[in-house]
Amino acid sequence: MVQNSICQLFGIQYPIIQAGMIWCSGWELASAVSNAGGLGIIGSGSMYPAILEEHVIKCKAAITNNRPFAVNLPLLYPDIDKHIETIIKHQVPIVFTSAGNPKIWTQKLKDQGIKVVHVVSSAKFAAKAEAAGCDAVVAEGFEAGGHNGREETTTLCLIPLVRKAVKIPIIAAGGIATGRAMLATMVLGADAVQIGTRFVASLESSGHTAFKERLVALKEGDTMLSLKKLVAVRLVKNEFYQQVAQAEASGASPTELATLLGRGRAKKGMFEGDLVEGELELGQIAALIDHIKPAAQIVAEIAAEFETAKQEVGGW
Amino acid sequence: MVQNSICQLFGIQYPIIQAGMIWCSGWELASAVSNAGGLGIIGSGSMYPAILEEHVIKCKAAITNNRPFAVNLPLLYPDIDKHIETIIKHQVPIVFTSAGNPKIWTQKLKDQGIKVVHVVSSAKFAAKAEAAGCDAVVAEGFEAGGHNGREETTTLCLIPLVRKAVKIPIIAAGGIATGRAMLATMVLGADAVQIGTRFVASLESSGHTAFKERLVALKEGDTMLSLKKLVAVRLVKNEFYQQVAQAEASGASPTELATLLGRGRAKKGMFEGDLVEGELELGQIAALIDHIKPAAQIVAEIAAEFETAKQEVGGW
């Protein structure tokens, strides 16, 4: 397996990073991925400060051989000071920031020896992240699950644009679930991949079993970017999504959409398994995923398929 | 350069196909691409029957060494019988069909010894095209310019899904403008690429100069999928697009949108150069394209970059 800038930056074996996701990526998933040679990430966006601390402690205890792990930190998190305190107190080695301005926290984290990666959906914001001192960027395309950029740039278009815009390493995200897609995005200029949806379909993911089962049953066209007047988010087209789509088609205002969305729908759907009324955040590539597997097996399969595809290209 | 199933099927040197596009790809562009070793396509969707015949005759005359070329035929074209007559009469060797049911015409064309390729935006329709006897499919992702599928599946997600669904060769389209993107989509399972937007930015394209100049000035986020209640189409975000977007945001009906669209806007924009009121169909990858060049140079650059990227992968 290629030992590149991202492997060196994080001290990992494979440039395979498991996305930090709300309600789905706690210490069990993050530690399993890190122990398998990738980089596991705890998604702190859905955690109260005390819960994050518990997950960080358990993650460190579960990881062997001093391997690294990371925390994903949405910069709009209301109690962000407390999350930052936990991260520094427990010496989390890497932080992935998202949904906010990287200027505010990057230097403070770096002063503590923490590596900082910011998630962007455009070359313009990638350049801002580089200027803010980030060590790398995640460039996430339109096909990704969950929150998404306004420009709707797909991963295939985004990676070359980001490659032109920055010198720091790029982690491709959105639409990647296999070693072939990993190689494809690296051909485009990425140095690593961040994979979300396929790791939701792991035994260690904290998503509800019903949610995982829905994931592996999804076909093409079963997710859609929604709530664009509010904050664009890719959702499974369940009953809740259809309510939103109808409201949008008849010209609903942002306030009306916010009322319809209400509170706690992501937890209800992904963590509690209410597939009808819940908000189910998944990427388009769910259509390609047919099995729930141990996270270590997912990492191994992706790494092996990457090698096979690489050999194949060598023969062309 | 890889000599694969598509090169053999069409008898071409490079698996690089120039998309048949309304108002932009007449005989000059198609013959230039075919003479450069790719496959040039005349876009018949914007041509009256007599005009298509003129372009086919001129294309054949301009192509050297008996190289092949193709005609793109939208199956909903009102005078389709006459287009078919021209194709058969002048022994056009390859036809790319789109926007309609491949069952109706595929066998009739194949009986004349014509190779038939159908354009699809989903694995489901790819399987139908294979069942209808098509020799190959173009699998076109969400990032492509012009008309587009309802599922909004991106090229990165679409190609592996189509690869699983069919055995016939796959031509990837949408978001491809470089040899790197060509290699990336072939790693995903494609056998060739179809490139539209980058060939609009060629000297030989029949698009208006003002349209080509707008293309090379576009940045990320400057195109958007529009008119989804009518027929989804990716457009440059010009003044006309903004009118549509406003109408859509306030819940305009399909009838209202059809009235707003009116007739002849594609010609007005792309052929006559009215960048304000015209419909400007381009793909997301326009953001990566900075120069207007001869078509032969575009083919040569893509082929050379493909080789460079391939060598690079060999070293990983």
Q: Which residues in chain A are closer than 8 Å to B252, comparing Cβ atoms?
A: 251
Q: How many CB atoms within 10 Å of residue A140?
A: 29
What phi, psi does A140 have (nearest 5°)?
A: -110, 125
Give the largest CA-CA distance in chain B. 56
CB atoms within 10 A of CB B1: 16
Predicted pLDDT of residue B81? 97
pLDDT confidence band for B2 (50 / 70 / 90): low
Which residue of A185, A221, A314 is in closest CB contact with B153? Answer: A221
Place of tokens 């069942």: B131
Could you write out the three-class secondary structure of chain B? CCCCHHHHHHCCCCCEEECCCCCCCCHHHHHHHHHCCCECEEEHHHCCHHHHHHHHHHHHHHCCCCCCCEEEEECCCCCHHHHHHHHHHCCCCEEEEECCCCCCCHHHHHHCCCEEEEEECCHHHHHHHHHCCCCEEEEECCCCCEECCCCCCCHHHHHHHHHHHCCCCEEEECCCCCHHHHHHHHHCCCCEEEECHHHHCECCCCCCHHHHHHHHHCCCCCEEEECCCCCCEEEECCHHHHHHHHHHHCCCCHHHHHHHHCCCHHHHHHHCCCCCCCCCECCHHHHHCCCCECHHHHHHHHHHHHHHHHHHHHCC
How many CB pairs lie under 8 A apart between chains A and B? 151
Partners of A115 in the beta sheet?
Answer: A94
What domains sit in chain B, N to C, each tagged with a CATH number?
5-206+291-314 (3.20.20.70), 209-285 (no CATH)
Q: What angle do CA A230, A234, A238 make, to 5 degrees?
A: 100
Q: Which residues contact A39 (CB under 8 A, 6 or more apart)?
A: A10, A12, A16, A17, A18, A33, A68, A69, A70, A94
Which residue in the set B2, B141, B285 is minimally distant from A316, CB to CB?
B2
Residues in chain A with CB shorter than 8 Å from the CB of B220 are 122-124, 151, 153, 157-158, 161
Indicate yes or no: CB of B180 within 8 angstroms of CB of A157. no
- Look up residue A6 and give its amino acid: I
A187 contacts B184? CB cut-off 8 A? yes
Q: A233 in helix, strand or coil?
A: strand
* Each residue's pLDDT tens digit, A224-241: 999 999 999 999 999 999
- Per the CB < 8 Å rule, is A183 touching B187? yes
Residue A2: per-residue pLDDT: 62
pLDDT at residue A99 in the model: 87
Answer yes or no: are the C-beta atoms of B139 and B158 closer than 8 Å. yes
Residue A171: pLDDT band with limits 50, 70, 90: very high
Q: Helix, strand, or coil here: A136?
A: strand
Query: Nearest Cα to A313, choosing from B37, B4, B16, B161?
Result: B4
Cβ-Cβ contacts under 8 Å, B139 against chain A = none
Q: Is the pLDDT of residue B1 over 70?
A: no
Token digits for A17? 């990073």
Structure tokens at A132: 């803010």
pLDDT at B219 over 90: yes
Distance in Å, alpha carbon of B144 to nearest chain A alpha carbon = 10
pLDDT at B3: 76
B142/A154 touch (CB, cutoff 8 Å), yes or no: yes
Q: Give the ipTM.
A: 0.97
Sign, CA torsion A157/A290/A32/A145: positive
Question: Which residues in chain B have their CB less than 8 angstroms from residue A2's CB?
Answer: 316
Contact B220 A183 (CB under 8 A): no
Nearest CA in chain A to B3: A316
Q: Please say if the pLDDT value at position A306 is more than 70.
A: yes
Q: Is the pLDDT of residue B230 over 80?
A: yes
Q: Which residue, among B173, B169, B156, has the nearest Cα to A287 in the 3D structure?
A: B156
- Residues B152, A220: C-beta atoms closer than 8 Å: no
pLDDT digits (tens, 9 = 90+) for A49-88: 999 999 999 999 999 999 999 999 999 999 999 999 999 9
* Cα-based angle A304, A305, A307 (whole degrees, multiple of 5): 65
Query: pLDDT grade, residue A1 (50/70/90)?
Result: low
SS3 A14: coil
* Min Cα–Cα distance to chain B from A172, Å: 12
Contact residues, chain A, for B282 at CB < 8 Å: none
d(CA A34, CA A203): 15
Q: What is the CA radius of gyration of chain B?
A: 18
> Looking at the DSSP assignment, which residues form a beta bridge with residue B98?
B74
Residues A116 and A106: beta-carbon distance below 8 Å = yes
Chain A CB contacts of B312 under 8 Å are: 187
Inform me whether the pLDDT recorded for A155 exceeds 80: yes
Query: Which residues of chain B lie closer than 8 angstroms to A141, CB-CB?
Result: 154, 156
CA atoms within a 13 Å half-sphere pointing along the CA-CB vector of B31: 17
Q: Which of A174, A175, A221 sits opposite B122 (nearest CB)?
A: A221
CA distances from B45 to A166, B71, B87, B97, B143 (A): 41, 10, 13, 10, 21
Mapped onto helix, strand or coil, the DSSP state of residue A149 is coil
Q: What are the residues whose beta carbons fall under 8 Å from the beta carbon of A100, sequence distance 6 or more?
A: A74, A75, A76
Min Cα distance B92 → chain A (Å) is: 30
* pLDDT class of A3 with cuts at 50, 70, 90: confident
CA separation for the pair B159, B122 (Å, rounded): 9
Distance from CA of A313 to the nearest CA of B (A): 7
Look at residue A109 and tell me whether its pLDDT is greater than 70: yes
The rounded distance, in Å, linking the Cα atoms of B249 and A32 is 44
Q: Structure tokens of B124? A: 């489901």
At residue B215, the pLDDT reads 98
Which of A143, A160, A310 lies nearest to residue B288, judging by beta carbons?
A: A160
| Predicted local distance difference test score (pLDDT) of residue A315 | 86
Strand partners, B224: B235
pLDDT of residue A62: 98
Instruction: State the nearest Cα–Cα gap between A121 and chain B, in angstroms.
Output: 10
pLDDT at B278: 98
CA distance A94 to chain B (A): 26
Residue of B nearest to A173 (CA): B156
pLDDT in tens, B163-197: 999 999 999 999 999 999 999 999 999 999 999 99
Rounded to an integer, the average pLDDT of A168-184 is 98
CA distance A197 to A146: 10
* Confidence at residue A149, expressed as pLDDT on a 0 to 100 scale: 94
Question: Distance (Å, rounded) from C-alpha B168 to C-alpha B117?
Answer: 10
Task: Say if the Cβ atoms of A220 and B153 lie within 8 Å.
Answer: yes
| Three-class SS state of A189 | coil
Q: Is the CB of A153 less than 8 angstroms away from the CB of B221?
A: yes
Tell me how crowded residue A62 is: count the other CB atoms within 10 A of its CB: 16
Verify whether the Cβ–Cβ distance A184 to B251 is below 8 Å.
no
Averaged confidence pLDDT in chain A: 97
Q: Which residues pair with B223 in a beta bridge?
A: B236
> Measured at the alpha carbon of residue B147, what is the angle toward residues A125 and A176, in degrees to the nearest 5?
45
